[in-house]
Structure 1
Amino acid sequence: MTTTAVKSPIEIELAPWQFEVGGVVLGRGTRIPIGNIEGLGSPPTRPQDVDNPGGDGVAVGQDFYGPRTLRMEAGIKTPGDPTAAADLLARLELSLDDPMARTVPEGRAVLRGRWPGHGTRRLYGRLRRVEATSTTNAVNGWIPLDVEFVATDPRWYGDELSRLTLGLDQAAEYKGSDRTADQALCAPGGCDRADAADRPGWITNHGNVSTWPSIRVHGPVTNPRIWNTVTGRSLDLDLTLRAGEWVEMETRPFTCWALRNGKTNVANDLTPQSRLDLFAIPRGRSEIVWTAEDPTGTARLELSWRSAYTAL
């Protein structure tokens, strides 16, 4: 078992008050200072209220979040070097033009930012606007900008990707246990008293809201079952994987899927109670456990996630 938190080596380290999109850094200490940012507060809500057809008021429904829109009033500032200013503008426009983030329905651009006292966090969505609002002083290397990023998921996510790799050595301990017993494993105070070496499935979401994991099961394995002992949510697959085969499951909203070897849809092999869209990792510490049939003892489960936050 291994649990790690990693950061891609190609990602740019950000200082406080800096943002990055498409490899271009904006904000304090850069050649693209930011004057004002809108959209850092709570995202807009989509109330599902229903008007009372025969009287005053409404029947209150659920309030859902809409997309979070960040708008930056910025400016390219390269005194005496209009060529450098034009090159920076072109790099931002190239980020907007990225076909994988613009024309593929599941494509997402990433905007990263850092607030003082916090680590770098990120939004997923679409870069929708990079507008040079004036060219009056372009000859002097000054181009004011209006940059707009629409986060289709309003949550901020940690920059570091956490990973868990788990073999089937836990299976004997939990085999035959019921859902009630599973939840009792992490009863208040229970997990904190256990030795970490005895609980290899511990995971931590350092944010303040639930987050969505990506899951991969590697064969050889039959009928894998994965569950979170804190939430009680489980994923049961009625299938068999040979050595070298795998199933990958994505739980993120709007992209829930289960693919065998990256090609074949196996969502129908999930039991009716196995809801990908509800298999979230709660804030704080929780535990992932899995069982399956594997005579070789070589099957493994891989889980990856980013801590989720309401704010930058």
Structure 2
Amino acid sequence: MPLSLNDWQYDIGGVIIGAGTPVQVIETTGLGRPPVRDNDVDQPSADGQFAGPDYWAGRQIQFDAAIRVPGDPAACHDVVAALQAATDGTAVRLVGGQGMTLRIKRPGRPVKSLTVRARKLDPEYKQVVHGYVPLDMEFLAHDPTFYADTDSTTEIPLGWLTGGGFAAPIAAPIFVQDGTVAADRPGWVTNAGTAPAWPVIRISGPCANVTVIHADSGRTLAMPTLNLAAGRWIEVDTRPGARTVTWDNGGNASTYLSPASRIDLFSLPPGQSEMRWTAFDNTNTARMRLTWRDAYTAL
């Protein structure tokens, strides 16, 4: 479980700083609009420029802080050591695409989180004998979006009834699917944030010829040659920095995804979305599980 945070506190990889802690945060920068990677080009033989698409760059977050433990220089060193241990882990530092979690709590707002890499941790020890150590810290969030502190999850079984159910009056004969055609079951997901959220989609067998559909946008992830045995699963991770398709044993399964399937576009917009998935399953035990975090443009 994540550590509980109070207003004006920050959780850096499991170390809490800010209000009520030995680390006083004087100023924080980089929590507003992210930097922009523009693609503007000069107009040939004309005044001005042509406005190309703007993309967000990584978010640089800087803390101007100070460790205050009056008369206890050893405690100051312990705080620096704890922060250094939290930011120096080889499981993050030496693995591409991995990051540590930075959590932020502001008054009247829920806890928001970012995945970051530490770029600077610079204590100034000139006054440590008095229990005072100024501290500069800098982190880079390669994905500049703020996310909810906890996951949201929904599980959608394959349906058997065609058309989503019965409507009165009912007239015989009544047709149900017998497993020889792809079943189709709608479900609903809600992104309570203000920015697109990126789901992790797990399909559990037995099933074959799987297609995941975001009904509102019409975007699909199709795996027409996939054949999942009972007890096996495949996971499609659409999150920025990941965007992988993997087997339950960690093997690469991206070759099952059709060329027209765009993981990089398969997001959940703010609000409610309808999700559907189709597959062959004559046991009605296959499941699709979606896991996502609500996404926000601001704290």
The reply to whether TM is greater than 0.5 is: yes
For 1:89, give the aligned amino acid: V
Pick the aligned partner of 2:187 from 194, 201, 206: 201
The residue aligned with 1:104 is 95
Contact kept, 8 Å, 2:153 with 2:289, in 1: the verdict is: yes
Pick the aligned partner of 2:64 from 73, 76, 91: 73
Say which SS state the counterpart of residue 69 (structure 1) adopts: strand
The residue aligned with 1:267 is 254
The residue aligned with 1:281 is 268
- CA shift, 1:250, in A, is 0.6
Are residue 297 (structure 1) and residue 297 (structure 2) matched? no
Say which SS state the counterpart of residue 243 (structure 1) adopts: coil
For 2:284, give the aligned amino acid: G
Say which SS state the counterpart of residue 276 (structure 2) adopts: strand
CA distance in 2: counterparts of 1:46 and 1:39, whole angstroms: 16
For 1:244, give the aligned amino acid: G
CA distance in 2: counterparts of 1:55 and 1:234, whole angstroms: 43
Contact kept, 8 Å, 1:46 with 1:64, in 2: the verdict is: yes
For 2:93, give the aligned amino acid: R
CA distance in 2: counterparts of 1:171 and 1:72, whole angstroms: 56
Deviation readout 1:39-64 (Å, 9 max, x if unpaired): 11101111101123434322210011
Deviation readout 1:199-253 (Å, 9 max, x if unpaired): 9721111110111000110111101111122222111112101011111111112
Are residue 168 (structure 1) and residue 158 (structure 2) matched? yes
Contact kept, 8 Å, 2:186 with 2:277, in 1: the verdict is: no
Contact kept, 8 Å, 2:58 with 2:144, in 1: the verdict is: yes
- CA shift, 1:173, in A, is 3.4
Are residue 115 (structure 1) and residue 101 (structure 2) matched? no
Matches for 1:146-165 after TM superposition, within 5 Å: 146-165=136-155
Are residue 35 (structure 1) and residue 22 (structure 2) matched? no
Pick the aligned partner of 2:211 from 210, 216, 225: 225
- CA shift, 1:30, in A, is 1.2
Contact kept, 8 Å, 1:130 with 1:145, in 2: the verdict is: yes
Are residue 249 (structure 1) and residue 249 (structure 2) matched? no
- CA shift, 1:172, in A, is 3.4
Report the count of equivalent residues.
279
**Gaps in structure 2 of 5+ consecutive residues:** 166-184
Say which SS state the counterpart of residue 144 (structure 2) adopts: strand
**TM-score, reference length from structure 2:** 0.89
**Gaps in structure 1 of 5+ consecutive residues:** 1-8, 176-198
More helix by share: 1
- CA shift, 1:170, in A, is 6.2
CA RMSD of aligned residues (A): 1.7
The residue aligned with 1:185 is none
Identity of aligned residues (%): 40
